[in-house]
Amino acid sequence: MDKDTVIRRELHTGGAGLLVRDTGEGEASGRTIEGYAILFDTPSAPFPTDGDTEVREVIAPEAVSQELLDGSDIKFTLFHDRQLLLARSKGGKGTLRYTRDSKGVRFSFEAPATADGDKAVELVRSGVIDGCSFAFSTRYYDRDHVRREVTEEDGRKVVTFRVMRMTGLYDMTLTPDPAYPATSVNTRDLLSGFPDEAPPRDLTAYHREMRAEARRRL
């Protein structure tokens, strides 16, 4: 795969800590929805695979800069449906507010006075919706954008793609449950297209020791 190939990704954020901020006047009348749309250093749900390899994805803190957030046109929707638009930030301005901290990207917005806004408030307040997803793009086969770590756990190969840099951030959405990550290419293509697969960590250490021993014998 060409390292300049841009792949669009969609990833679920578990543990988003969604809530509706109430007014504090004894009634649950608030309409501000807030939580984390992106969590840093948190493994995703496993990608669907055909074999025994487990594949996950992690977003590094440096992947989402303030410049990326402020320069993006981010639409906040319900159920991944862009017709169910709840908030928006375009060029850092709009009804969608966000802050970047050590945990991730936290958002808040005032639910609009529409049927979709009313539905979002009720579903989040009741706990029916407790997660978010976000869509982004990156150059998956460029090591400056994505790094791959291969380890072995309990005899099982585990591949972790660590996103170091995004090329675009497009939308965030309220969603009721963790879905498998969606991608514009399937997992097999991601695995086969990534350059120079590293061996599991324990074998890497073993080979390093063997090379060191060979140098000592010279």
pLDDT tens digit sequence for 118-145? 999 999 999 899 889 999 999 988 999 9
Per the model's pLDDT, the better-predicted residue between 1 and 218 turns out to be 1
Q: What is the mean pLDDT of residues 212-217?
A: 51
Per the model's pLDDT, the better-predicted residue between 28 and 129 turns out to be 129
Interatomic CA distance for residues 79 and 116, integer angstroms: 11
Residue 185 has pLDDT above 60, yes or no: no
Residue 133 CB partners (closer than 8 Å, separation 6+): 10, 11, 12, 13, 80, 172, 173, 175, 179
* pLDDT band (50, 70, 90) for residue 45: confident
**C-beta separation of 33 from 16 below 8 A:** no
The dihedral through the CA atoms of 53, 56, 60, 64 has a sign that is positive
Interatomic CA distance for residues 174 and 177, integer angstroms: 9
Q: Which of 150-154, 160-164, 188-192 has the highest mean pLDDT?
A: 160-164
Q: What is the pLDDT of residue 144?
A: 94
Q: Which of 4-18, 70-84, 204-218 has the lowest mean pLDDT?
A: 204-218
* pLDDT band (50, 70, 90) for residue 194: low
Place of tokens 């840099």: 165
Residue 218 has pLDDT above 60, yes or no: no
**C-beta separation of 111 from 117 below 8 A:** yes
